[in-house]
Amino acid sequence: MSDTWKIVMVASECVPYAKSGGLADVVGALPAALQKLGHEVIIVIPKYRAIDAEQFDIQPFLSPMGVWMGDTEEWCAVYKIQNQAGVAVYLIESDKYFDRDGLYHDAEFNDFLDNPRRFAFLTRAALQLCIDIGFKPDVVHAHDWQTALASAYLKTWHWDDPVLGGAASFLTIHNIGYQGVYDAGHYDYTGLQWGNFTSDKFEDHGKVNFLKGGIYYADLVNTVSPTYAKETRTPEMAHGMAPYLNDKGENYVGILNGVDYSQWNPEIDPLIPANYSRDDLTGKGICKRELQKRFYLYEDGDIPLIGVISRLAHQKGLDLLSGAIESVLDDMHVQFVLLGSGDKALERYFAHLPVRYPGRAGSYIGYNNELAHWIEAGVDMFLMPSRYEPCGLNQIYSLKYGTLPVVRATGGLDDTVEQYDEATGGGTGFKFIEASAHSIYYTVGWAVSTYYDRRGHWDQMVRRAMEKRFSWDDSAQEYVAAYRRAIENKKGL
């Protein structure tokens, strides 16, 4: 078997072009790491309205391109760009499906009603593009429910195609809470025969489930951390998918996401007020004071500053935090800042918090990349109270920035943060098990008491955290091993 392969990544988002979560970071970084290892990788994503063609120098590539969906031929155009790592990115232009505000939903967070058609079309278009340009992949790597149909298309539509017939299908689950479950009336449009609409494949209580069918047909399935792979084999954490993932046996694995340290490194970060390193933390103190100014907090280098950057969502546990943060601010000498958006009730709650705690709490509702870097660099501890977290990236960024994570011990949070040992000063952060406001309050209190009362331990942990490295170079090697297994499965070896 060849040591280098052709790989096509099919995804609904990719940095820096379109992002709603960690999926975009993976699709942006993993291909670059694979290419460094000698593999040829292309990326296929939608050409959303928000993508600035001039900013990224996106050029027309192919027009028109016909894509059969059910008994309908849809027409689109294809654009192309080389990203900063030299990976070819192809963008599928369809005004019908992608010329609208938002990736998946409108401004009120209501899903677009035609999402199943939009992303079924994207997936078929990506495969058609491979045929039209003669790109013969060894692996078709799909991401989440949006492109999970790729594995089914390869097995049912393209099994004997001279370009696609030999491709192994690989599916990454970034968040099993989102499965693409829609009315069965959309199923005809996918072009997958009704013989596939069964309880072990696409049928889900009378509806169509894109992820479920993708799992069935994929040669190998992975998720984005070893612990999340274990958790999603259990009924409590798998959102109904445990039996189907367990059926995959050893062909369901966890591979921890890496981090792009060219973007997230306090020694070279151009967005923060001052750079710093493990050996000279002077700049971190400057970043803290500037962050306090930016959020109109009292300027005090000695008070512990807690930070949050998050979607305001049930999964992220921000409703639990809303039940704990006022007690934290009432009972502890701390400050708090938050950057995030999502649930409107939580947006209102956290937007009003600085009014009740002037000089001690700050919030920014929305997203601002520069401010995210400021928070990672300027706070002392980073809080992630997630009910579940497939991988998480901010806790890994925090380690690099000498910002100690306070996290729930789930998924990738448990894999990347080492529990503080009060006897020895070991560890890189603070973990709790129960998803509750009570646990958040007492674990933050434990971290705060360590900051004030065991400062030697705190300083040791900061330096130990900054030594940790979760590189895409390492993760890419694991993906290569998983691709090899997928190819062997495809060939029946």
- 93 within 8 A of 64, measured Cβ to Cβ: no
The pLDDT, as a whole number, for residue 1 is 53
Q: Mean pLDDT, to the nearest integer, of 95-123?
A: 93
**Reported confidence tier of residue 471, pLDDT bands at 50, 70, 90:** very high
Instruction: Please name each of the domains of the chain with its CATH number.
Output: 6-258+472-491 (3.40.50.2000), 282-467 (3.40.50.2000)
The span from the CA of 464 to the CA of 473, in Å, is 21
> Is the pLDDT assigned to residue 109 strictly greater than 80?
no
* 347 DSSP β-pair partners: none
Strands in 181-182's sheet, in edge-to-edge order, are 181-182, 207-209, 203-204
> Is the pLDDT assigned to residue 161 strictly greater than 90?
yes
The pLDDT, as a whole number, for residue 34 is 97
Distances in Å between the alpha carbon of 7 and those of 38, 41, 165, 417, 471? 11, 5, 14, 32, 20
The per-residue pLDDT for range 399-410, each reduced to its tens digit, is 999 999 999 999
The span from the CA of 488 to the CA of 382, in Å, is 42
The per-residue pLDDT for range 195-249, each reduced to its tens digit, is 999 999 999 999 999 999 999 999 999 999 999 999 999 999 999 999 999 999 9
Concatenate the DSSP letters of all residues of 71-111 into one string.
TEEEEEEEEEEE-TTS-EEEEEE-HHHHSSSSSSB-TT-PB
Amino acid at 383: L
The pLDDT, as a whole number, for residue 2 is 59
184-201: b (≥16 Cβ within 10 Å) or e: eebbebbbbeeebbeeeb
Concatenate the DSSP letters of all residues of 427-453 into one string.
-SBEEE-S-SHHHHHHHHHHHHHHHHH
Name 345's Cβ contacts closer than 8 Å, sequence gap at least 6. none
Phi, psi values for residue 320, rounded to 5°: -65, -40
Neighbours of 164 (CB within 10 A): 23
The per-residue pLDDT for range 262-316, each reduced to its tens digit, is 889 999 999 999 999 999 999 999 999 999 999 999 999 999 999 999 989 999 9
The pLDDT, as a whole number, for residue 409 is 98
Which segment of 14-28, 182-196, 211-225, 473-487 scores lowest on mean pLDDT? 14-28
> Is the pLDDT assigned to residue 370 strictly greater than 80?
yes
**Reported confidence tier of residue 107, pLDDT bands at 50, 70, 90:** confident
The token pair that represents 9 in the structure block: 């990544």
The token pair that represents 241 in the structure block: 């998918």
Triad 370, 373, 378: Cα angle to 5°:
120
Reported for 471-475, long-range contacts at CB under 8 A and 24+ positions apart, including other chains, are 471/258, 471/259, 471/261, 472/29, 472/30, 472/32, 472/33, 472/258, 472/259, 472/260, 473/33, 473/36, 473/258, 474/258, 475/30, 475/33, 475/255, 475/256, 475/257, 475/258
Amino acid at 300: D
Return the residue matching tokens 């708090």. 336
The token pair that represents 310 in the structure block: 């998050």
Phi, psi values for residue 393, rounded to 5°: -120, -35
Q: Mean pLDDT, to the nearest integer, of 412-441?
A: 98
**Reported confidence tier of residue 108, pLDDT bands at 50, 70, 90:** confident
Return the residue matching tokens 């990203």. 83
What radius of gyration do the chain's Cα atoms show? 23
Q: pTM above 0.85?
A: yes
For all residues of the chain together, what is the average pLDDT?
96
The span from the CA of 127 to the CA of 44, in Å, is 9
Return the residue matching tokens 């992975």. 222
Q: Mean pLDDT, to the nearest integer, of 157-176?
A: 96
- 184 within 8 A of 191, measured Cβ to Cβ: no
- 369-378 and 282-294 helices, crossing angle to 10°: 130
> Is the pLDDT assigned to residue 424 strictly greater than 70?
yes
